[in-house]
């Protein structure tokens, strides 16, 4: 009996997910430049031809993994933007980020090990810079809405804080106090409007 369109779509999604998971593992463990399509196919337990049915190249696999990272970031921003008041957005962002991180810890652990490889940086090129700038600009908007004294600097700090906590958590999820750090960060950013803008030394 022929499969329904829905069943075929489910199989395609499952194959794509297996391919991406295998690619991420090998890119992280072997390095992006050393991992081959043949090795990825073996890791995923599928044929090379099936990989090419979904992705035209190894570079496209890398960009698809990068897109998964962006999807998680967009989800955390969506949670922040759903807050009723601007004052609740940063708290919503921090809590959503930690929830997504815990849910996708394996993905982010491998993704962080992949992110600084020279071949990856070269392949992603300006896309990575544009993504980072977009994140900082969004954070700056949130901070400006709540009256942060220096939203540009505070946005960079918030981005580095979330990124740093995320890396520490995925490297040591059993011992890193993620929830306590999130609560401390929430308290810090709640108090931002009360802090005077610091003057830079002449």
Q: How far is CA 88 from the centre of its chain?
A: 22
More confident call, 5 vs 185: 185
pLDDT, position 116: 86
CATH architecture for residues 1-55: Orthogonal Bundle (1.10)
One DSSP character per residue, 55-110 reads: -SSHHHHHHHHHHHHHHHHHHHHHHHHTSSSGGGHHHHHHHHHHHHHHHTHHHHHH
Q: What is the pLDDT of residue 121?
A: 92
**pLDDT number for residue 13:** 87
Candidates 15, 9, 29; CA nearest to 64 is 15
pLDDT of residue 1: 62
Query: Which residues fall within 8 angstroms of residue 137, CB to CB, at 6 or more apart?
Result: 155
Which pLDDT score is estimated for 39? 97
pLDDT, residue 156, reads 95
pLDDT of residue 190: 83
Q: In this structure, which topology does domain 64-193 adopt according to CATH?
A: Tetracycline Repressor; domain 2 (1.10.357)
Structure confidence by residue, pLDDT tens digits, 17-56: 999 999 999 999 999 999 999 999 999 999 999 999 999 9
The predicted model gives 83-87 an average pLDDT of 87
3-state DSSP helix/strand/coil % of the chain, to nearest 5: 80, 0, 20
Instruction: In whole angstroms, give the CA distance from residue 134 to residue 67.
Output: 14
Number of Cβ within 10 Å of residue 146's Cβ equals 18
More confident of the two residues 116 and 101: 101
Rounded distance, CA 122 to CA 130, Å? 14
Domain ranges of the chain: 1-55, 64-193
């Amino acid at each position: 009996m022929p499969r329904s369109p829905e069943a075929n779509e489910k199989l395609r999604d499952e194959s794509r997910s297996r391919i991406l998971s295998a690619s991420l593992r090998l890119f992280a463990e072997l390095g992006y430049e050393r991992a081959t399509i043949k090795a990825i196919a073996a890791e995923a337990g599928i044929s090379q031809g099936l990989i090419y049915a979904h992705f035209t190249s190894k570079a496209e696999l890398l960009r698809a993994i990068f897109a998964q990272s962006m999807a998680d970031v967009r989800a955390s921003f969506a949670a922040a933007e759903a807050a009723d008041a601007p004052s609740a957005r940063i708290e919503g962002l921090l809590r959503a980020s930690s929830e997504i991180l815990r849910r996708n810890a394996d993905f982010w652990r491998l993704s962080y090990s992949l992110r600084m490889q020279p071949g990856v940086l070269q392949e992603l090129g300006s896309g990575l810079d544009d993504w980072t700038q977009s994140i900082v600009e969004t954070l700056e908007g949130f901070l400006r809405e709540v009256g942060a004294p220096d939203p540009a600097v505070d946005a960079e700090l918030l981005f580095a804080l979330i990124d740093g906590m995320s890396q520490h958590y995925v490297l040591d999820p059993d011992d890193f106090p993620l929830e306590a750090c999130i609560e401390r960060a929430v308290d810090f950013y709640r108090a931002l409007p009360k802090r005077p803008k610091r003057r830079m030394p002449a």
